[in-house]
Amino acid sequence: MNRLIAIALSVVLVVAIGWYLLGPKKKKDTGSKAPEAIVMIDKGGRMDEAISSLMVEYYALSTALVAGNTEKSADMSRGLADQLKKLPVSGMESNETLEAVVTEIRNELQAAADNLSTATAIDGQRKQFQLLSSKMFDLLRAVQYHNKPVYQVYCPMAFNNAGAAWLSEKPEIINPYFGDKMLHCGEIRDSIVQ
């Protein structure tokens, strides 16, 4: 009986030592804090107003591309570029990381809008619109825009089946990449809701 108790105690001791050596480790508190979350504070709604105006120009550009109207698309792109210049990036009450991210996105949007406005063929304009749409959605996410619903729509057949996304204020599919050839080709992939 004593031998049985000694074996049982030995097993318990081996398990305890194994658990101590190989079990889950507790992290030591090094005094460092978790990374600061990127949060934007939009006092007075200046950013929301600017984004709302930007989206009006974006949707007008999309409509011009649906119609295949290169002149109107170029004009709408210039209007969008003007609105981008009014984006209140400096002085955002946020951390420096967000300001840098928004500035970079705005610069990429500006370049795409400028390229679109100088493109003479509808295909070239639509290609720039693809980049512009992607960066616009990045901007909406970065500034946490929730003034109005925005739908990200995706057409898998755009650009020789490479696929492309665009933004819409309504859940209906109106494809700016094909116009009336394939007006309703696409599906909603993501959204930003109020």
- pLDDT number for residue 38: 44
- pLDDT number for residue 97: 82
Give residue for tokens 């107003």. 49
Q: What is the CATH number of domain 43-192?
A: 1.20.120.290
pLDDT in tens, the chain (194 residues): 677 666 655 655 555 565 555 554 444 444 434 333 344 555 557 888 999 999 999 999 999 999 999 999 999 999 999 999 988 887 665 567 888 899 999 999 999 999 999 999 999 999 999 999 999 999 999 988 888 999 999 999 999 999 999 999 999 999 999 988 899 999 999 998 86
- pLDDT number for residue 48: 86
- pLDDT number for residue 146: 84
What's the pTM?
0.76
Distances (CA, A) of 106 to 51, 62, 85, 169: 11, 19, 8, 20
- pLDDT number for residue 168: 96
Whether the Cβ atoms of residue 86 and residue 53 lie closer than 8 Å to each other: yes
- Segments in 23-146 forming alpha helices (H): 46-67, 70-85, 96-118, 122-142
- pLDDT number for residue 35: 35
